[in-house]
Amino acid sequence: MAWSTRELAELAGTTLNAVRHYHRVGLLDVPDRTANGYKQYEVRHLTRLILIRRLRDMGVPLDRIEQARCPESTEAALEAIDAELEESIDRLQRSRSEIGAILRGLSAAGA
């Protein structure tokens, strides 16, 4: 199965400009072209684009996504990203706890 750039973008839930940008920065391989010059994306392009979009939606910077480029490094890169996300979640949960404590103190002082 082959898709055009527009079809690929729609399937991945992104825009044509995003697909073109990912080509420019080297995150997404440019596919082969047909005789009439149209790009023909394959399943591997779609799965890569979906991975890029999911990681971007989680706030992962593009340069960190680039580290997950090679098949042999994908697992290690994703594990590192996961560890960083876990640290961020822990930090945010501590911040929420501290804010909660402050709010409880303000409520107790005003009661």
User: What was the pLDDT predicted at 54?
Assistant: 85
Architecture of domain 1-66: Orthogonal Bundle (1.10)
For the chain, the average pLDDT equals 86
Question: Hey, where are the domains in the chain?
Answer: 1-66, 73-111
**Predicted TM-score (pTM) of this structure:** 0.64
User: What was the pLDDT predicted at 28?
Assistant: 93
User: What was the pLDDT predicted at 66?
Assistant: 79
- Exposure string of 22-44, with b = 16+ CB inside 10 Å and e = fewer, is beeeebbeebeeeeeeebebeee
